[in-house]
Structure 1
Amino acid sequence: MGSHDEKGVGVNDVALVQAFSKYFDLVVPAEGSEEMNEIFRMRYEVYCREFRYEREEDCPGGMETDGYDARSWHCMVRHRPSRYAAGCVRLIHCEPEDPSSLLPLESKFGESLFHPELRPELLDRGTICEISRLAVHSTFRRRVGELSTPLGNLASFNFAPDQIRTFPLVTICLFMAVLIVGGARGKEHGFAMMEPRLARLLKLSGFQFTQVGESVDYHGARAAYYMDLTHALRVVRASRVLGKLYSTAQHRLEETTGWRETA
């Protein structure tokens, strides 16, 4: 998984969540839409130009894509005042009837998995997914004015202090999208390759990940993690603050796409 806010993602303020809802929208783009191209351009900006995880020459047209995009559900958080994409994430799913339809984590890092039970091959293939390509635009991670990008000079926007305070919630909202979209598609088990630091930060917000793989060198130290999506949804719903953010995000998605979680 990619970029995230490194100053912490704990949420304990209802007013902050209300402010976030004022400035950001959660979107599930339609396949082939211009919004999907926005996601690919932002991934290029983050994964190629900023972090150098991927080679720019492998991303024609300034869009970072791969073969897993075709069997993924993509989510985007949009900054309402500027209309720019602030962050994105995708859920890669398997074709249950196709033995060769593996999660990337299985294909690339299967030998690193050590948990005796929380393994993709031991679970119902129709209920598993991989949380992947998490990216947050640098403007919503850094101090305003530090970076101008080909996506537009977002640094020129005069962000009010109450907007800037909401920026760390972009990452949290992306994980809300994982729960909403995963629930709508019957996914109960989520896997991800991530930095241990990100797993610790997410734990502050109630997203409990269990490490199920040894640390490997993949754009820095990464390890395989597992999250029980059904349990995470219950925790979020029971939270006074996170429940508010979840309800707002779900309502926005239902209005625009009809997506409704079923867990």
Structure 2
Amino acid sequence: MKKISSFADNPVIGGVVKKAISSLASKDAKNISEHFSHYLQPTIANSHALREEVYRLRHQVYCEELQFEQTNSVHQEKDDFDEHAIHCFVRHLSSKQLAGTVRLIYSRQPDELLPIEKYCAHAITDKHIFPGRFAREEICEISRLAVPAAFRKRAVDNFAGAATGAIDHTTFSATELRCFPYIAICLYMSAAAMSYKTKRYYGFVMMEPRLAKSLSYVGIKFHQLGDAVEYHGLRAAYFIDSRELRKTLSGGYQSLLKSVEHELFGELSEEMLLEPNERLLGWSL
């Protein structure tokens, strides 16, 4: 796939290459979606105990592994935005470990800013799309996506030890190993599903341009709002309308999205046009 993707920006064959990548990814995703729920379960963190698990995972990834934030004695990474965010995580069922997390931040008051407005407003130079253009109750921000090292890398040779962050393929099955690269995609889908369900359709996020490009191959099309800036590495501001995602997502990933929605919302997964009822969904907002 890496050799193929290197030709994606070629002005002559780039279009064909992108279609080939999308087709291959869609076919693989259709197969993966049939197995994903056997190994990995997306869940809303709708209790104090579950949210503390999320904060501990974020400390592991953001403070210990990536060193974006300072470590602390309680081993939890939290900020003021957590009080007005819906938290979601993916659990690896056989080990019970959290394999990833993401949050969807919203505004409680008309003057309450999203993190991207408070800290990265200079990254948004698009004159047509910016948070202030939309009703405050219809915007949100995808934030704090974290996948621990053990689930970020696939082992291709013998296990070198836990310190390397590699996956011990003597512990995980071959099918599980194939599912692991889909965790980040699953988290973005979870965020989009929560955005759609609560009618906070207009989502903003700071992310690496290469990640946005990779996600576009599967139909998760973020619109870049300005040049990349320094923010824990080079990142740019992006926008996505969760209603449009359902139109652009490639075939195989539609199946994965349905699986994610079923796990998150249960019997409510088919009732996407209902007025958001957060108590009914079990969200502690």
TM interval, short-chain normalised: 0.7 to 0.9
Q: Find the residue that maps to 2:211 and give its secondary structure.
A: helix
Which position in structure 2 is the counterpart of 1:174?
187
Structure 1 residue 255 displacement after superposition: 2.8
Distance 1:175 1:203 in 2: 12
- Code of the residue aligned with 1:107 in structure 2: it is K
Q: Say if 1:98 and 1:146 are closer, same or farther in 2 by CA, change over 3 A.
A: farther
Structure 1 residue 228 displacement after superposition: 1.5
Instruction: Select the residue among 39, 51, 56 that pairs with 1:23.
Output: 39
Which position in structure 1 is the counterpart of 2:58?
43
Q: Find the residue that maps to 1:167 and give its secondary structure.
A: helix
Q: Say if 1:185 and 1:259 are closer, same or farther in 2 by CA, change over 3 A.
A: farther
Which position in structure 1 is the counterpart of 2:260?
249
- Code of the residue aligned with 1:193 in structure 2: it is M
Distance 1:112 1:162 in 2: 40
Q: Say if 1:28 and 1:213 are closer, same or farther in 2 by CA, change over 3 A.
A: same
Instruction: Select the residue among 245, 248, 252 that pairs with 1:235.
Output: 248
Contact kept? 1:180, 1:260, Cα under 8 Å: no
Distance 1:11 1:164 in 2: 18
| 1:34-54 deviations in Å (ceiling 9; x for gaps) | 221111111111101111100
Q: Find the residue that maps to 1:134 and give its secondary structure.
A: strand
Listed as ranges, the matches of 1:130-145 within 5 Å are 130-144=141-155, 145=159
| 1:67-96 deviations in Å (ceiling 9; x for gaps) | 10110001101111111110111011012x
- Code of the residue aligned with 2:95 in structure 1: it is S
Contact kept? 2:193, 2:242, Cα under 8 Å: no
Structure 1 residue 156 displacement after superposition: 8.6
| 1:179-226 deviations in Å (ceiling 9; x for gaps) | 221111111111001111111111111110111123211111111111
CA RMSD of aligned residues (A): 2.4
Q: Find the residue that maps to 1:181 and give its secondary structure.
A: helix
Distance 1:257 1:41 in 2: 29
Which position in structure 1 is the counterpart of 2:68?
53
Q: Which has the higher helix share?
A: 2
Q: Say if 1:18 and 1:108 are closer, same or farther in 2 by CA, change over 3 A.
A: same
Q: Say if 1:183 and 1:169 are closer, same or farther in 2 by CA, change over 3 A.
A: same
| 1:150-182 deviations in Å (ceiling 9; x for gaps) | xxx984961111110111111111112112211
Identity of aligned residues (%): 33
Distance 1:184 1:122 in 2: 21
Higher RCO, Cα 8 Å, sep 6+ = 1
Q: Which runs of no fewer than 5 residues in structure 1 stay unpaired? A: 1-7
Distance 1:257 1:31 in 2: 19
Q: Which runs of no fewer than 5 residues in structure 2 stay unpaired? A: 1-20, 275-285
- Code of the residue aligned with 2:70 in structure 1: it is R
Detail structure 1 runs of 4+ shifted over 6 Å in the superposition: 256-259
| 1:80-121 deviations in Å (ceiling 9; x for gaps) | 1111110111011012x431x001111111123110111001
Structure 1 residue 258 displacement after superposition: 7.9
The TM-score with structure 2 as length reference comes to 0.79
Q: Find the residue that maps to 1:225 and give its secondary structure.
A: strand
CA radius of gyration, larger in: 2
Q: Find the residue that maps to 1:117 and give its secondary structure.
A: coil
The TM-score with structure 1 as length reference comes to 0.86
